[in-house]
Amino acid sequence: MQSIVLLHGALGSDRQMEPLKNHLSEKFDVHVLCFEGHGGRNGSLAIQNFSENLTEFLNENNLKSPLVFGYSMGGYVALYTEAKLPVTFEKIVTLGTKFNWNPDVAAKEVRMLNPEIVEEKVPKFAAHLSRMHEPNDWKENMRNTAAMMEAMGENPPLNEVDLSNVQCPVHLLLGEKDIMVSEDETLVIKDQLPNAQFNILDGVEHPIEKLELGTLGAYL
C-alpha cells in the first residue's frame, strides 16, 4: 500500500488532518506529522525546523519516497524539504500554499494574527484553536506564527534556485474562493518547478475544514 504523509497548515496541528486521514485510510498507509510548536508540542516555529521535523519523521517511520500532501504551510515545508534533499518524495501535492512572501505581504498576514482580537471577535475560531493546541496556549502559537511570517517576509526560505532542485512531480492545488493565496503567485511557482501541474478547485475556500474531502481524490 502506498504511504502518504499529511502536513498541516499554520495555526493547525495533526488534529486538523484527522478527517482527511480517515478518508484516505482505505487507499493509503496514512501518516500525519505534527510540527513542533503546534498541537501540544514544544519548539520554535520556522520552516527550517519543520523540515527537520519532517525528515526525522520519515526516518523514524522508515518511509521511503512517500507521497506527501501539504495543506497551506505544510505544502511549503514539503517543497522546502524536497529542494534541500531531492528525491525525498515520490510526489508532492499542495493545497492553498502561499509562496509570495515579502515584508508587505507578511505585514498584511500578521495583522490578522492578534489573539486578543480573535478571541473577542471570533470566539468560535478561538475555541477551535484552543482544542487544536491543547494543552499548550493557542495564543502563544498565534504570536509565534506571526513572528515566523515576519521572518519569512524578510527572508523567504524558498527561492528560484531551490525550486529548480525539486525533482519529483508536484501538483499545486488552489481553491477558487481562496482569498489568502492568488492564482498568479501559484503560477509563478509552477513555472519555476521542473515538473509541476496546477489546478483550480471550483468553489473551494482556504480553510481545509470546509473542503469536501472527495475533491482531493483525483490528485492523490
The per-residue pLDDT string of the chain (220 residues; one tens digit each, 9 = 90 and over) reads: 999 999 999 999 999 999 999 999 999 999 999 999 999 999 999 999 999 999 999 999 999 999 999 999 999 999 999 999 998 999 999 999 999 999 999 999 999 999 999 999 999 999 999 999 999 999 999 999 999 999 999 999 999 999 999 989 999 999 999 999 999 999 999 999 999 999 999 999 999 999 999 899 889 9
44 φ, ψ to 5°? -100, 145
168 part of a folded domain? yes
* pTM, 2 dp: 0.96
95 part of a folded domain? yes
184 part of a folded domain? yes
- Please report, for the domain that includes residue 187, its CATH number: 3.40.50.1820
Instruction: Give the span between the Cα atoms of 170 and 94, in whole angstroms.
Output: 8
Tell me the residue type at 7: L
Range of the domain at 164: 3-99+157-219
Q: How many domains does the chain have?
A: 1
Cα 99 to its chain centre, rounded Å, is 11
31 part of a folded domain? yes
β strands within the chain, DSSP E: 3-7, 29-33, 67-71, 91-95, 170-175, 196-201
123 part of a folded domain? no
